[in-house]
Amino acid sequence: MSQIALPLEQKIPPGQGGYLVTPANEDIHCQLQNWRDWAHHTLILTGPAASGKSTMAASFAAESGGLVVDDARAHEDAEIFHLWNRANMEERPLLLVSEQPVPEWGVTLPDLKSRLAASLHLDIGAPDQAMIEGLLQKYFALRGLTISDDALRYLEKRMVRSYDMVRQLAQKMDSLAIASRKPINLGIAKAALDHFDDGDEKVEI
């Protein structure tokens, strides 16, 4: 599968399920495409909020017909154990999704512990520059807006590299642009970032 090209005016290629693929998550994307090769037909996907896990899972389910358990930590041991066995018996892929790594799930069933330990584990790391740029462009494109190149460069050099911060900054810039009736420009980007650095201090935009 091809990697998304930026800027966002170029549409996401079919088969990428509506999520962006950059070097930050390219290995995970490839593994989701190669589900036939999973050890024990199971993949455990972990990562922070807003990192695209649910969108990836939905795309995987549509393309593979596999089983998906979102927020796997919240499910009973017996349920996960049954699904793991079913996946192996039917040779049908099982994707377990969680924000927390397996050691934090509180699994007490010994047989399930051993099965999860033998399964493939992947964790979504921090977004890279291309991911941050693509996510911000996508957020505003869906609202019929654009973000200026100098605003993107400013944020990429100074912001905390996390998916949640991308989401929070996008929402803050959106609200500031509406309030000031201005486009998403460098002034808006500075004001949004200053909001998270210094609280609600007023900044000229």
Residue 151 contacts residue 36 (beta carbons within 8 Å): no
Percentage above 90 pLDDT, the chain: 84
**What fold does the segment set 26-123 form as a domain?**
Rossmann fold (3.40.50)
What digits encode the pLDDT tens for the residues 178-205? Answer: 999 999 999 999 999 999 986 444 334 4
What digits encode the pLDDT tens for the residues 125-162? Answer: 999 999 999 999 999 999 999 999 999 999 999 999 99
The mean per-residue pLDDT over the stretch 175-180 comes to 94
State residue 82 phi and psi, 5-degree precision: -65, -45
Residue 198: what pLDDT? 64
In the chain, the amino acid numbered 34 is N
Using the predicted structure, report yes or no on whether residue 2 has a pLDDT greater than 50. Answer: no
Residue 98 contacts residue 49 (beta carbons within 8 Å): no
Report how far residue 130's alpha carbon sits from residue 3's, in angstroms, rounded to the nearest whole number: 11
Residue 7: is the preceding peptide bond cis (ω within 30°)? yes
Using the predicted structure, report yes or no on whether residue 17 has a pLDDT greater than 60. Answer: no
Q: Which CATH number is correct for 129-198, 1.10.287, 3.40.1440, 1.20.120, 1.10.8?
A: 1.10.8
Q: Mean pLDDT for the chain?
A: 88
Per-domain boundaries in the chain: 26-123, 129-198
Residue 197: what pLDDT? 82
